[in-house]
């Protein structure tokens, strides 16, 4: 093992520990603002692992899209809709907690088994070195993965249209006002009936 491999190994361990700790903070912390900030730490750790795997374009896209767009959008949503509400105790909550723990433990065991079983050794004689990752990703996007790429764009468009409709729902009136209820500034105020009757009786007395 040379110096470069040792630095990569230590950097990978630090990034892995950072990713696990921040992910646990996202799940376990009760303050949702802190969880959103730690989610940005998870994304940055993943981008660091991409850099160690020589996937420079994917690492840059990870930071630009997930940290710069998705995480900031989550923070804006939390800041705008930060309503403090006292939730009532849910009956039988321990059943939900236990079932969630079992599912998480099963997923962890499944992923751990896949990590241990997968052969991670790379053949040094294989000509798998890619000089320009951007060109290769573009080729795969418009050849092998063209259909998922287009479906993802359509899904994002549908989500954007739905978000616009939900955001403008408060501006749409439930029913249009009737014609007779509309008043203008040119309409003269109506004379009160009491004053009219008083004026009529005074005229009769005179």
CATH, domain 8-82, list 3.40.50.720, 1.20.120.1200, 3.30.9.10, 1.10.3720.10: 1.20.120.1200
Q: Which residue has the tokens 């209820």?
A: 181
Is 48 within 8 Å of 11 (Cβ atoms)?
yes
Least confident of 61-70, 141-150, 196-205: 196-205
User: pTM value?
Assistant: 0.58
Question: In Å, how far are 51, 142, 154, 155, 159 from 151, measured between CA atoms?
Answer: 28, 13, 5, 6, 12
CB distance 8 to 52 below 8 Å: yes
pLDDT digits (tens, 9 = 90+) for 5-45: 788 888 889 999 999 999 999 988 888 888 889 999 999 99
């Amino acid at each position: 093992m040379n110096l470069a491999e040792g630095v990569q190994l230590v950097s990978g361990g630090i990034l892995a520990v950072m990713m696990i700790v921040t992910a646990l903070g996202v799940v376990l912390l009760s303050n949702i603002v802190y969880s959103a900030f730690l989610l940005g730490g998870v994304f940055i750790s993943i981008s660091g692992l991409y850099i160690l795997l020589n996937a420079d374009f994917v690492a840059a896209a990870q930071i630009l899209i997930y940290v710069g767009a998705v995480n900031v959008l989550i923070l804006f949503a939390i800041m705008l809709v930060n309503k403090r509400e006292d939730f009532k105790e849910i009956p039988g909550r321990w059943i939900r907690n236990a079932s969630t723990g079992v599912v998480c433990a099963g997923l962890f065991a499944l992923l751990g088994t896949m990590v241990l079983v997968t052969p991670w050794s790379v053949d040094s004689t294989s000509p798998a070195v890619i000089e320009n990752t951007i060109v290769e990703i573009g080729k795969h996007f418009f050849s092998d993965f063209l259909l998922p790429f287009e479906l993802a764009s359509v899904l994002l468009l549908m989500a954007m249209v739905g978000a616009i409709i939900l955001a403008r729902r408060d501006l749409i009136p439930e029913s249009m006002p009737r014609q007779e209820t509309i008043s203008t500034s040119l309409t003269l105020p109506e004379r009160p009936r009491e004053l009219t009757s008083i004026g009529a009786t005074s005229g009769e007395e005179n």
